[in-house]
Amino acid sequence: MCNKRKHKFLLNLKNCFIALGILIIAFIICFILSRFFHHANYCSLVFILAVILVSRFTGGYIYGSIMSIIAVFGIYIFKVNSEVFDYALNFIIMLIGSIVVSSLKIQVKKYAVIKDEIEKEKTKANLLRAISHDIRTPLSSILGSSTAYLDNCGKLSDEAKYTLVSDIKDEAVWLIRTVENLLSITRINDSFAKVDKNPEIIEEVLGDAASKFKRQFPNIELNIKVPDDILFVPMDALLIEQVLLNLLENAVIHGEKTTVIDIQADVNESFATITVSDNGNGLKDEMLSHLCGGNVISEDKELAGIKRNMGIGLSVCMTIIKAHGGNLRAYNKKDGGAVFEFTLPL
Amino acid sequence: MEIRDKILVVEDEKSISNFICTILDANDYKYITAANGKKAYAIISSHCPDLIILDLGLPDIDGMEIIKMVRSWTTTPIIVVSARSREKDKVEALDLGADDYITKPFGTSELLARIRTAIRHTRTSILSKEIAQSGKYCVDGLVIDYDKYRVYIDGVDSNLTQHEFKLVALLGKFAGKVLTYDFIIRELWGSTQKTDNQILRVNMANIRRKIEKNPAQPRYIFTEVGVGYRMIEGD
């Protein structure tokens, strides 16, 4: 709140300086011109220009209007007119000019805001489409399996029942993962720019994420390396944990033959780097090029459909890390396996 | 006849309370359900359950209020069920006197483990409040010797400072239970400085470097991000 007021004050100060500057320049020009010409008709033109410029470079109607009044005095000083009527006419013309320019400027500003909104809506729509598409499949499967179970309860063998129920469980696990991802996006403020950062010890966050991951995938070997010195990194720990979980799960699910995952944290003067690398199949070329473009939610349904959840999971990672002021990049190791690397500013 | 522990499930979502009760029934617990806070409160005072599983989001009374009311007259263990990403709720519930929390979605084994821990803790703390502070706590190669003020890993003294020992001892005393940052700070430093848990965390990082092989993959003391620490429970 206080910050907003301060910002407004600074803006007003800046506008004042602009108006004052243009006024002074107008006076100087008039003064110089008065040395060369004996009549002073140019004066009103110079001041009209000054009024229009002030309206253009300051916000709102106030500065332009005040400037019109001052300009009339300016014209009076250089004695352009002899009649009161002329001054009034000058004033009205300048006032109208300033109002027209100001209102044009306000309209342009409004348009920029609308354009920004449209851009945001578009991203949201893309995300929504990807999600709805992704969520429908497991839901149909859950509905199908449970209906099959209920309708044929007496006729099914135990094995068939077991299969149906474990299918329901798998799909539900997947749905929960997706929803957790979506929820974590809502933790980021609306402007997609701010997260609530607290200094966290990197090994605690890595350790907690690792133990959650282990509960789900007990057979995957995890190796974590952290610096010997205690490393505090400002972050929203839950969000970074979500990033790690996404990267780890992707490594298993999309790496297909992954058995070992290495997580490493390094630090230099300005940021911490966290690397997650696996020994799976590595990333496909089209996925890599998508990642390089920074656009992981593809509008192309084919790609989003093939790699279920990859799209949402990674775009959530990207959003979270961008909101922290860091970077996410991906590449393949020479000897196979994918590497995801993200930075967090210190 | 074996005496079965009676568990009260306070949950307004019928499907969730259904599956919790199925799990409890299958594992030889008696259960009662309450779909709202008022009913829960009536049951707690009339039936005296051995444990309460409490969802924080109830339609009538705020879950926190129920914890406060129950804690004003009984130490019946309370396990709070909460959604992830609401770590502030968890911390508040624990600080109000809840014994543990479990995060939705949870699995059967996780729920049962929490129930066992919570019930055992109230039993032992009633019987032997002081005994826990002397003798030894042993788990998986870790030995906390309360008499000698020493912590051994696989028989080797891990050279903790006095402060570090106090921290490990405290976690050992409440093994299996999450201790919030605030609780630990109050117990160890007696300070009421709420926001600053950096000293505690630096201490913990140092302890981990002494007792864990890899501080990022701890065996004994686990971090619950945003909430606190939990010591592994022995058998």
What is the per-residue pLDDT across B209-224, written as a single tens digit (0 to 9) for each?
A: 888 888 888 888 888 8
A232-235/A198-201 β-pairing: antiparallel
Three-state secondary-structure class, residue A344: strand
Pick the CATH number of B6-127 from 3.40.50.2300, 3.30.750.24, 3.20.20.10, 3.30.70.1090: 3.40.50.2300
Fold adopted by B131-231: Arc Repressor Mutant, subunit A (1.10.10)
**In CATH terms, are A124-186 and A198-345 the same topology?**
no
| Residue B24 pLDDT greater than 50, yes or no | yes
> Would you tell me how many other CB atoms lie within 10 Å of the CB of residue A140?
11
Which of B84, B204, B225 faces A237 most closely, judged by CB atoms?
A: B225
Fold adopted by A124-186: Helix Hairpins (1.10.287)
CB contact under 8 A, A224 and B217: yes
User: What pLDDT shows up at residue A275?
Assistant: 92
| Residue A298 pLDDT greater than 60, yes or no | no
Domain boundaries, chain B: 6-127, 131-231
Strand runs (DSSP E) across chain B, as ranges? 6-10, 30-34, 51-55, 78-83, 100-104, 136-139, 142-145, 150-153, 156-157, 178-180, 221-224, 228-231
Cα-based distances in Å from A163 to A188, B31, B47, B118, B157: 39, 29, 40, 34, 51
A–B interface: beta-carbon pairs under 8 A? 61
The domain A198-345: what is its CATH number?
3.30.565.10
Residue A23 · residue A70 · CB < 8 Å: yes
CA separation for the pair B59, B63 (Å, rounded): 10
Which token pair is B185? 């700070």
Selected residues 265-284 of chain A with any CB under 8 Å from a CB in chain B: 265
Q: B224: nearest CA in chain A?
A: A208
CA separation for the pair B85, A187 (Å, rounded): 9
Write out pLDDT tens, residues A172-213.
Answer: 888 888 888 887 777 775 555 567 788 888 888 998 888 888
Which of A180, A207, A241 faces B216 most closely, judged by CB atoms?
A: A207
User: What pLDDT shows up at residue A242?
Assistant: 86
| Residue B116 pLDDT greater than 60, yes or no | yes
Nearest to B63, CA basis, from B29, B12, B15: B12
Residue B212 · residue A226 · CB < 8 Å: no
Q: What values do phi and psi take at A58, rounded to 5?
A: -115, 165
In chain B, count H helices and then E strands.
8, 12
CA separation for the pair A189, A195 (Å, rounded): 7
pLDDT above 90 covers a percentage of chain B that reads 4
pLDDT grade for A70, boundaries at 50, 70 and 90:
confident
State whether residue A245 sits within 8 Å of chain B by CB: no
State whether residue B218 sits within 8 Å of chain A by CB: yes
Domain boundaries, chain A: 2-114, 124-186, 198-345
CA separation for the pair A89, A46 (Å, rounded): 15
Which token pair is A24? 């002074």
Q: What is the DSSP letter of B107?
A: -
Which token pair is B116? 């066992």
Write out pLDDT tens, residues B148-174.
Answer: 888 888 888 888 888 888 888 888 888
| Residue B131 pLDDT greater than 60, yes or no | no
